[in-house]
Each structure stands twice: as structure tokens, then as C-alpha cells.
Amino acid sequence: MPPQTRTPGRRGAARHGRLRRRGPVRALVTVVASTLAVLLVSGASLAAITAQQLSSSVTSVALDNETAVPDEISAMPGGANILLIGSDQRDPGSAVAAGVVDGVRNDVNILVHLSEDQTQLTAVSFPRDLMIDRPACTGDDGASRPAASYQQFNTLYGDGGIGCTVAAVESMTGLSVYYAGMITFDGVIEMSNALGGVDVCVAQRIRDTDTGLDLSAGTHSLQGVDALQFLRTRHGVGDGSDLARISSQQVFLSSMMRTIISGGTLGSPTTLYKLASAALGNMTLSSSLSSPDTLVSLALALRDLTPSDIVFVQYPVVDDPDQAGRVIPSESDAAVLEAALQADQKFTLGDQSEGRGSTADESAAPAPEATAPAPAETTAPSDPATSTPAEPAPVTTTLPSTITGQTAAEATCSVGSSRG
């Protein structure tokens, strides 16, 4: 049986219901790196001062739902949701030679869900070519926008900024998104430079005349414009689709997260401060996220995560039957993913979950196997009247194998396009 599809606009209404309100790949790395930097540059005692210095020049916009948002992200029942937007916007003097920009597009869109117990971070990428129904929303300029049917996802930011992009994601997923941020091309360049490069595995030559990227098979350390070209290339990877680009971006982001968490970056205050400055100096944040108190709270919430705790997922889609090159939500798979996020459940990826633009790195050392817990010691039966009931085991969901992605701990390679 073919997968059910959620058909936008003229062919059926998308779900606009929300849960009751309960309570920044480019951009995911931005928020993780910058907030960790804020926390670790000088220790907790100076974290607030550092956060104030870094965030003082950040442009911020207000979201409609910010009035009841706590400063402490750890105080958010059901976990915290942060929408991160990568825009092709850049300064006129930018080093990016990317041709003419027709408007401002949100070509990278990642919804980050940090579980309430702060043991799993999920990054859900929404394809730029996804067709959706957008609800009425308030733009960053404060003006109201009427609802729009059958709108392409990467036009949301140009249409109404961060506010309207947040409204669309809330409507699609049933989640409340209280925090958001947008990073420009220049921010990606400066962040990769601050790290001194990110090692990326290429399984098959990547050649893209649109971006000027040409990488032979093997491992490359990418920074600056080269890193940006890699993240932007679509025709050079997999089948040339935006879906292939998303899985190729996950290769980069996973490697970058391993570099930040495990590669000694956290032990270098200078590198961390440069990374945070590069990120925040090229971002627009919701005012709920730009608060120094919130940045410190986020840093504290993220500090114990390991690469295996970070899961990258592509929002499940199928081809749009009415327009070639466009996609629409896959009803059944999206429902499974959204239910897990709404319930703040832990989940794992199914077998064979590689995307269109990536493959396992066969040359990488295998990840260490999980150590089985030691058997519990046998003790005398306790008195039911005085004993504390054992906490129930956490519920873990295995996503369908049709939902693609990887954890940051997995070593993967980008796959060049056969047309390259």
C-alpha cells in the first residue's frame, strides 16, 4: 500500500490543530556551539557576563507566543522546541560568490527538540521544496498575513520572516515553538573558520558547476567558502534533489558536532568564544532566545549531550503528484514522528535509514558497543508501605525505515551525483 500523503491547499487541508501550550545545518550547530561557548569560556560564574557581551549586538524579533516563555529552558514541560533557519541573505560585501539572489529564501529549516530530561536532541530538517498550507501569521514587521494555501516552504521567511516560518511549523507538527533564530551565509563561513575546518568524507566525486564545488573521493577538511559550497550543493550529490542535499548536510553537521564535542574544542576557550562570536554576529534571534539568561540556560541543558544523543531526521515526504520537483508530507510517517516529539519520547532510527546523498563510511572505526548494565544486586523484599515505587522504564519508539537520518555519532560519507 503506498504511503498516505497529507495534501496541501487546493487538494485538502493540512492539520492546523495544536497541542495545548505547555509551559538555533547549518543553524543547529550555531546554537549548540554558541551556547556551549557562553557557558565554558570562563566557567559558570562569568557565563552571564559573556552571554551579555555576545548577545548585545544580536538583532531580535518578537514572536506572538513569547509572553509566557520561561527564561529557563529546562523548565519547559515536554521539552523545548527551537526553529533554526538558514537564509541565503548576505551582506553586499560578502565573500560568497553565489550569483544573484532573488528575494530572501529559507533554504535550510531545522526544528530542534531538546527532551525535557535533556538526554536527546532531535534535529528535524524540512525540505525547501515542501508544499504546505500556511496559517495566518504575524510577520517580523508586526503586520498580519492572511493564510496561504499550497505555499513552498522556502518562501516562508521572505513572506513573513521568522514569525511566519514558526507559525507554519507549529501548524504542521502540533508543537509549540517558543524559540527561533536565523543565520546567514556569512555566519556559516565564519563558524567553519573558527573551528579550523570540518572533516568531511566523500564516497564518490562531488562536482557542481552551480556552486563551483569539486571534491574528489576521500576526506576533506572544509572551511570558509568551501564549507558553504558543500552545504549548498544540490546538483553535486545523490540524485541532485533537495532531499539528497539534506542527507549530505547531515554528514557535515554530524562531523562538526563530533569535532565540537569530542575533538578538543570544548577545552579551548579561545576557539569557543570565536565560534560563538561568529554565530551570534550573523544571526537574528527571537527575543525569547536572545536573552542572556536563556542562552546560559540552554548551555547548561546541552552540556552533557554526546554525539549519540543527537539525532538528525528528515521530515518525511513523498513526491507531489501535481507538480514535478516538489514534495508533500507523508501522512503516516509524519504522524509517527510528530507523535514521538509531542509526547517527548526517545526514539531510534530504523534500519536502512540512510538518505539519498549519504552512505556509511566503511573505513571508519566501528562505534563502541554499548555496555550491558550490570545485574542488579539481590536484596531483601522491601516494605511496600515505606518503599518508593520504581520509576517506569522510558518509552522508546523506533521510527519507520522510510524516515531517513543519522545520529551525530555515525561516520558517514556524502555521495556524489552520477551526473557530476
Asked if residue 171 has pLDDT above 70, the reply is yes
In a domain, 296, yes or no: yes
151 lies in some domain: yes
Total domains in the fold of the chain: 1
- Give, in degrees to the nearest 5, the angle at Cα 300 between 115 and 343: 10
Give residues with Cβ within 8 angstroms of 76, minimum separation 6.
22, 23, 70, 116, 178
CA distance linking residue 248 with residue 363, whole number of Å: 18
d(Cα 198, Cα 194) in Å, to the nearest integer? 10
pTM for the full model?
0.82
Does the pLDDT of residue 405 top 90, yes or no?
A: yes
Rounded to whole angstroms, the Cα distance separating 398 from 276 reads 34
Statement: residue 378 has pLDDT above 50? no
- Distance between first and last Cα of the chain: 34
Is pLDDT at 71 greater than 90 in this prediction? no
CA distance 367 to 320: 38
Query: Is residue 93 in a domain?
Result: yes
pLDDT per residue over 188-241, tens digit each?
Answer: 778 788 888 889 999 999 999 888 899 999 999 999 889 888 988 988 999 999
pLDDT(328) > 70: yes
pLDDT tier at 266 (50, 70, 90 boundaries)? low
For residue 97, how many other CB atoms are within 10 A of its CB?
Answer: 9
Q: Report pLDDT for 284.
A: 87
Q: Which amino acid is at 102?
A: D
Residue 191 covered by a domain: no
Residue 309 placed within a domain:
yes
Residues 6+ apart with CB under 8 A from 81: 111, 112, 113, 114, 175, 176, 177, 178, 179, 341
Residue 311, φ and ψ in degrees, nearest 5: -115, 125
Whether the predicted pLDDT of 113 surpasses 90: yes
CATH of the domain at 314: 3.30.420.590
SS3 letters across the chain: CCCCECCCHHHCCCCCCCCCCCCCCCHHHHHHHHHHHHHHCCCHHHHHHHHHHHHCCCEEECCCCHHHCCCCHHHCCCCEEEEEEEECCCCCCCCCCCCCCCCCCEEEEEEEEECCCCCCEEEEECCCCEEEEECCEECCCCCEECCEEEEEHHHHHHHHHHHHHHHHHHHHHCCCCCEEEEECHHHHHHHHHHHCCEEEEEEECEEECCCCEEECCEEEEECHHHHHHHHHCCCCECCCCHHHHHHHHHHHHHHHHHHHHHCCHHHCHHHHHHHHHHHHCCEEEEHHHHCHHHHHHHHHHHCCCCHHHEEEEECCEEECCCCCCCEEEEHHHHHHHHHHHHCCCEEECCCCCCCCCEEECCCCCCCCCCCCCCCCCCCCCCCCCCCCCCCCCCCEEECCCCCCEEECCCCEEEEECCCC
Mean pLDDT of 161-173: 96
Rg (CA), the chain: 21
Residue type, 270: T
Q: What's the pLDDT band for 269 if we cut at 50, 70, 90?
A: low
- Domain assignment present for residue 393? The answer is no
Q: Is the pLDDT confidence value at 30 over 50?
A: no
Q: Which cell goes with 275?
A: 565560534
Alpha-carbon span 136 to 142, nearest angstrom = 13
Residue 351: other Cβ atoms inside 10 A: 7
22 and 78 Cβ atoms separated by less than 8 Å: yes
Higher pLDDT, 165 or 72: 165
Average pLDDT of the chain? Answer: 78
pLDDT band for position 339 (50/70/90)? very high
Domain enclosing residue 53, as ranges: 16-185+242-250+263-352
Averaging pLDDT over each range in 87-96, 211-220, 254-263, 275-284, which range is the top one? 211-220
**The three three-digit cell numbers of residue 413, written as one number:** 560519507
Q: Is residue 92 assigned to a domain?
A: yes
Mean pLDDT across the stretch 78-85?
A: 92
C-alpha cell at 213: 564545488
| Predicted local distance difference test score (pLDDT) of residue 279 | 73
The amino acid occupying position 194 is A
* Side-chain half-sphere exposure of 11, counting CA atoms within 13 A: 14
Please give the average per-residue pLDDT across 141-162, as a whole number: 95
Average pLDDT over residues 330-359: 91
Q: Of 306 and 393, which is predicted with more confidence?
A: 306
- Is 34:54 a contact under the CB 8 Å cutoff? yes
Task: Please check whether residue 103 lies inside any domain of the structure.
Answer: yes
